[in-house]
Structure 1
């Protein structure tokens, strides 16, 4: 376990390379701070023994000025040490968070199928903040405290080794208590982090699905679930508080007893007229013991901050080192596709040995509009996911214009393919930004022209502020039909070579459907289009209809070819749907 933690710390420290000068400066000020802190009690001893007892006013003034100068240097060192350590930590966190977000945004869809969003939010926000404490409250503070203790012990041995020996007798007891505290706190912190992750996941999911919670009157049930999770979170923190409440009073008692023994032993020496101890020694040791024991007491807490940061870094580094990214080894830049598609013996499974696409062969010619139909779970949407390389196929090949899609860079491949999904996602932003997705190459004039071409300009202008209307989170200010129109326009302005409509008209009103049907006629002209349809009446005019069942293509042809096929799958599906709608 220690080796793993050491490895994690080394990986985190690699992020300090761009800030090496600042890193070295923090170490320098840690050393300066320890020297100046230990020098003050020593100067106090000299002042008491050499100038106060002999009543030397001139020498007293000199040493007071010297002590003031040392104090100012200590304050300056403390300021720069704390400020630069925190500054370094925040810059490192910024770099790690950017790298992590970039990494997550390139993960396979399979990763998001299995990982709760709340967990990823915890990793990206809270765990990374814990990494910052490695530098602001953990590593550098521990280094500073250890240096301070070493320097202080050096001064103490130089001044009075007998008194120092008494102090050393008490240190093993405090070190043992510190070690026990550190072990208990480590386990407590791990439990706290786990409970925070569970709490974030639960809250995120329930807030996202609040409509379902209220529709099915699950407020009380979800409230009880939340109380249980929150109780576990509270219990984890109380354990943390309990250990702190026990340890710090014990540390204070040990420190106070040690100071009492020093005063008693040193005082007896002075009263007996021995030259072993001076009044200056007692004054200095009163400060030294506090300066020595406080860092030793707090080092356990700081070590736990370090440990907590390392635990968090393990979680973050696990994501950074993950191999869940789609392989982007292609070198070809797709500037434009003619649109010839070829699926050859394609097999795919979301779960190993459970194929959902079973050896599909499919050819689509340039400019054709094909429709893919079939029952739920037949594999229709999976084909679209594979074409966009959201998932890697198990075997076979997928080619566009005769070139394997793996040979294209992911960015250029996906830029030539526009997809309109059934479940439209809109960001909490303006309609214009949701259409362009902040692409600087798309102008407002192009958006307006495209909206007029497909007949949605009037709808957008009827909204407050028109294209600058903020749709709020997930587009809640718009109806499902309106969101679908925005998604359709978003696909259109990207000027794709291949257009995919995945159940794009299955959940919208008649008026919106008419708009999209008219827009479809416009946008599909001159480009290859794939329409995944639930309502068969919308794909009658497709050049080819592909019928899927249980991961296989069972029929293919035009509507009129398939409707006239005796006992055909499509024919039965069509008339069954027609009867239901009638």
Structure 2
């Protein structure tokens, strides 16, 4: 998964990556040349007392060091730009893909997990790319070059490399392979902490209303403790790496000095060559250590890449048509033909054999007990989810065949839980139509019975709205959501229990103001309150996912026991809208 993610999203950066490799190669070769020059100064300059040779060779060392510095700085700069661009592209890809998900896929992953995958997980892979550009390229060059240069200085000590390098590599591999399950579990624990925290912050009113702060504190403490315990177990393994590296490094240094001193004493090697050999061995081991840093990051990045690719590989259950219809002749018509919907793996369908038609200028109301499938039914029209049986037709065309933009342009949806975005009143209303003028916004607010409270705000249309609309009341939030749909001026209005937070007087005034605006549109209203739908041209009564009644208010009182029971329970029979 990691290789696939890197190969896909690093393809546009092949030129910067090639430049990084070249710069790292030049810089590493320059660093490998320095110990040899240092050995020449000791063996040829100091031993002979040739000051001129020392100065000339020292000048070459300064020049080589300058090349190394320039190449390293340039490589790190290009590597950082490449890594940041890679992270940007992956985040954009994940965000764009998630935006195409239906409600089913979003519910499957969960919002906290999707946020973690697009932030923390992408950052882990991005850091791997950055470290690869700065370390991984240099490590093999330094290892191979160091071996060649060390053998050039003295073959007699080469056995030390054959012992120390494999010993370090094996020891590190034994530690790192135990870290992979820990990193995978850690990402899951992060998801859990994010989920609990999100639930507690979002539902803070419920928590306080039921005095559940101690319980929620304990629940978060449990999730936090699980994450901490997993991180500590993985951290202990990570901490073990450094002592292992230092042990092998120091033992190797002692061994080189011990056996090298014997060869110097025997005249088989000069002091400068021994010094160079020691430096090359240290460079080789440092290269192994740099590769170790990469190996420490690879397991976690691999887990994160697996989670990212899982999102990218998940296809939406709402798929655009191969040849979408972009032009239709009908206007403001909605029809459901034998519609059924069943969640994957569910024992029974949520909806079954639902059929009705909404014509221009008419209002159809949907009512039923909780769990009857009203919201699911309304979600099928804008394709938040797709039918599993039957068909939904907008203006005579199956919504699955319509171009998505064409479908959504014709629909104005006010969801059951209205959501407002961080910004202003105006920016939220223009979500329905970015080109709407201030006059259009005030007209929509007037119809939605929201003009009075918006005018009372200190800055009017420019008044700030907090995330989710938490700085306005539930009724105000509903009215702003209705105004947002009105600004769009769609052909089909879908109101999903959008009047529940309004008092009866405001409800009646709003519906009266809506009539002239929706005179040429198809209107579908899901409601729990009979007074909201009593004047509808057609009322659909749902029970256990099926239609048990269809007609006007007076007809259903006589023909549909379920509807009569709902009316009786609310004591509104015969009360006009």
Query: Shorter-chain TM-score category?
Result: over 0.9
- In the other structure, the counterpart of 1:264 is 258
Residue 439 of structure 1, CA deviation: 4.5
The C-alpha deviation readout for 1:403-437, integer Å capped at 9, x for no partner, is: 22211111220121111123111112111111112
Deviations 1:31-75 (A, max 9, x none): 122211111111111111111111111111111111011111111
1:279 aligns with 2:271: yes
Q: Is the 8 A contact 1:428 1:471 kept in 2?
A: yes
SS in structure 2 opposite 1:387? coil
Equivalent residue in structure 2 for 1:306, among 292, 298, 305: 298
- CA separation of 1:561 and 1:283: change in aligned 2, threshold 3 A: same
Matched-pair contact (CA < 8 Å) for 2:76–2:133: no
Which of 163, 182, 185 lines up with 2:179 in the alignment?
Answer: 185
Distance (Å, rounded) in 1 between the aligned partners of 2:331 and 2:118: 40
- 1:62 pairs, out of 52, 56, 64, with 56
Which one of 307, 310, 318 corresponds to residue 318 of structure 1? 310
Cα deviations by residue, 1:271-329 (Å, 9 ceiling, x for unpaired): 34x1x211111221332222111221232221121232222111111111111251111
Shift of 1:438: 7.9
- Cα distance in 1, alignment partners of residues 21 and 204 from structure 2: 50
Match of 1:120 in 2: 114
SS in 2 for 1:260: helix
Deviation by residue 1:429-478 (Cα, 9 ceiling, x = unmatched): 11111111285322333222333455433321111211111121211111
**Secondary structure of residue in 2 paired with 1:555:** strand
Instruction: Report the secondary structure of 1:383's partner residue.
Output: helix
Q: How many positions carry a matched residue from both structures?
A: 573
Instruction: Pick closer, same or farther for the CA change 1:172–1:453 going to 2, 3 Å.
Output: closer
CA gap 1:335/1:484 in 2 versus in 1, 3 angstroms: farther
Give 2:553's match in structure 1, choosing from 555, 559, 563.
Answer: 559
The DSSP-based 3-state class of the residue aligned with 2:339 is strand
Give 1:390 shift. 1.2
* Corresponding residue of 1:213: 207
What SS is found at the alignment partner of 2:338?
A: strand
The alignment status of 1:456 with 2:450, answered yes or no, reads: yes
Aligned partner of 2:283 in structure 1 is 291
In structure 2, the gaps of 5 or more residues are none
Q: Give the corresponding residue for 1:37.
A: 31
Cα pair 2:336 2:391 within 8 Å, conserved: yes
- The separation in 2 between residues aligned to 1:17 and 1:43, in whole angstroms, is 40
Of 342, 350, 362, the residue aligned with 1:349 is: 342
Mean CA deviation greater in 416-425 or 292-301: 292-301
TM-score (norm 2): 0.95
Post-superposition offset of 1:518 = 3.2
In 2, are the aligned partners of 1:454 and 1:522 still within 8 Å (CA)?
no
Aligned residue number for residue 574 of structure 1: 567
| 1:332-383, Cα deviation, whole Å (9 max, x unpaired) | 2257851222211211112445112111121222221111111111122222
Q: Secondary structure at the match of 1:496?
A: coil
| Structure 2 partner of 1:50 | 44
Q: Is the 8 A contact 1:117 1:204 kept in 2?
A: no
Q: Is the 8 A contact 2:366 2:527 kept in 1?
A: yes
The residue aligned with 2:319 is 327
TM-score normalised by L of structure 1 = 0.94
Is contact 1:447-1:493 (8 Å) kept? Answer: yes
8 A contact 1:343–1:361 mirrored in 2: yes
Counterparts in 2 of 1:286 and 1:207: CA distance versus 1, 3 Å: same
